[in-house]
Amino acid sequence: MHFVFCQVSTNLINAELPDDIAAEYYRKQWDKPGYYKPEHFWEVPLWIAEICGSLKHTDLEYTTELCIITEHDQTLPDGDYYLFSVLDVNKAIVEGIATANPGKIFMCGGYVTNDLMSDPMNIFWYGSIETFIESFHYNYVYDLDYSLFSGMQTIPRLTMSTGCKHHCKFCTVPDELTTLSVCDIRKQIESFECLNFRYIYLNDKTFGQARNWRDLWVIRDVIKQNNPNFGGFIVQTTAAKCKNPAFVRSLVNSGVVIVELGVETYNDDILRAYNKPQNTDTIAQAIYNLYNAYMAIIPNIIIGLDGENTGTYRQTLEFLTQERHRFYMLNIYNLARYGEDGGDTNELTQTGNADDERFYNDVFRLGLEILRQ
């Protein structure tokens, strides 16, 4: 049997989006040394590597092929099964391709549910990679295989733990912290050997919570043996962690070179309302410690949090402007709300206002200035 892994190009997904200041910022962002972005997606699709890795542990007679979807009416290669990861942004494209190819079998999963699909008769939905493997009467085995992307420049993701102990109200990450086994971490590291990379992104939601973060220096040395060009790790963590100088020193000694810091907003009332484990003093201390350790700092900023207005946005912008010389770049996000009142439904809603739009332009403009410094 022949599996065709279909990945919808971001160029197709974003074709109708305005070429505004955000688009200019993201184009410039990837000019940073070692910030490798493949042509058709932000990063190498993990779901494809995981399915290919698990298939290796079956005795199925199969072949695989990668198909990049660049047109709505694209002609598909010959195959037995066509696999897609379906998101809000590509759902309509996948539906259209499946409808236009009624004689082909489409096996889909992802972050939307099958009731959101128009449900062509040739779409089969799987709630997880495990259930997909089990549909062929084999047990799922965790492994990764990036051979379909061999030689590609990218920033691979390494997961040492999942979940987060914090309960920030804008986040949907499960609060149960689970540490991956040494065996599963080793499988990830070995799978990266066919890729071309300078940095590795630590996929832990809040790096430093799981105890195994202290083993990172060992992982650094193993990776360096296989990839002499390896430049270090990028991690995401909190100001509450980085206000401790000893934690920052440990990051440096472990090979961390870039820290994405969960700032979100520089306003104590909003941070408190969203249950963030920090305040503005904590943020300021964390940035001081990271900067003095010669760490590249990328503050995460969210547009659209409840309580934001002209005054609060001005406070965040003034903070970012004052500290701009310490920042490597900015991570800028729009808050995604589901349901009319931001509730837990499957319908994505838009709630932007004039203050959000003004800050959107101001913060991306500042981000461009930081990239150029």
Q: Is residue 60 part of a domain?
A: yes
Residue 166 has pLDDT above 90, yes or no: no
Residue 342 has pLDDT above 50, yes or no: no
Amino acid 351: pLDDT: 54
Percent of the chain with pLDDT over 90: 82
pLDDT (mean) for 92-110: 95
pLDDT (mean) for 73-81: 96
User: Residue 62 — very low, low, confident or very high, per pLDDT cuts 50/70/90?
Assistant: very high
Least confident window among 104-113, 166-175, 185-194: 166-175
Which range marks the domain in which residue 302 is found?
Answer: 155-372
**In contact, 145 and 54? CB cutoff 8 Å:** no
Nearest to 52 by CA among 3, 107, 112, 7: 3
The CATH number assigned to the domain holding 260 equals: 3.80.30.20
Identify whether residues 355 and 272 lie together within a single domain.
yes
Q: Is residue 359 part of a domain?
A: yes
**In contact, 307 and 270? CB cutoff 8 Å:** yes
Identify whether residues 118 and 259 lie together within a single domain.
no
Distance CA(301)–CA(13), nearest Å, equals: 24
pLDDT tens for residues 226-262? 999 999 999 999 999 999 999 999 999 999 999 999 9
pLDDT (mean) for 306-318: 96
**In contact, 300 and 264? CB cutoff 8 Å:** yes
Helix (H, G, I), strand (E, B) or coil at 111: coil
Amino acid at 273: A
Residue 315 has pLDDT above 60, yes or no: yes
Q: Is residue 25 part of a domain?
A: no
Q: Which residue has the higher pLDDT, 258 or 162?
A: 258
What is the strand order of the sheet 81-86 is part of? Answer: 63-69, 2-8, 81-86, 106-110, 123-125
Identify whether residues 51 and 163 lie together within a single domain.
no
**In contact, 198 and 229? CB cutoff 8 Å:** yes
Q: Is residue 33 part of a domain?
A: no
Identify whether residues 175 and 282 lie together within a single domain.
yes
Q: Strand 81-86 vs strand 106-110: parallel, antiparallel, or unpaired?
A: parallel
The tokens describing 197, both together, are: 């990379």
Buried b (16+ CB within 10 A) or exposed e, 303-340: bbbeebeeebbebbbebbeebeebbbbbbbeebebeee
pLDDT tens for residues 263-298? 999 999 999 999 998 999 999 999 999 999 999 999
pLDDT tens for residues 199-232? 999 999 899 888 999 999 999 999 999 999 999 9
Sign of the C-alpha dihedral computed for residues 193, 194, 199 and 201 taken in this order:
negative
**Predicted model pTM:** 0.90
Amino acid 341: pLDDT: 46
Q: Is residue 23 part of a domain?
A: no
The CATH number assigned to the domain holding 112 equals: 3.40.50
Nearest to 201 by CA among 183, 179, 226, 223: 223
Amino acid 121: pLDDT: 86
Identify whether residues 255 and 113 lie together within a single domain.
no
Amino acid 344: pLDDT: 42
Amino acid 336: pLDDT: 74
**In contact, 76 and 8? CB cutoff 8 Å:** no
Amino acid at 108: C
Q: Is residue 107 part of a domain?
A: yes
How many H helices and E strands in the chain? 13, 15
Identify whether residues 342 and 220 lie together within a single domain.
yes
Residue pointed to by tokens 């890795």: 53
Q: Is residue 32 part of a domain?
A: no
Tell me how far apart the terminal alpha carbons of the chain are, to the nearest angstrom.
53
CB atoms within 10 A of CB 193: 11
**In contact, 64 and 5? CB cutoff 8 Å:** yes
Domain boundary among 78, 102, 134: 134
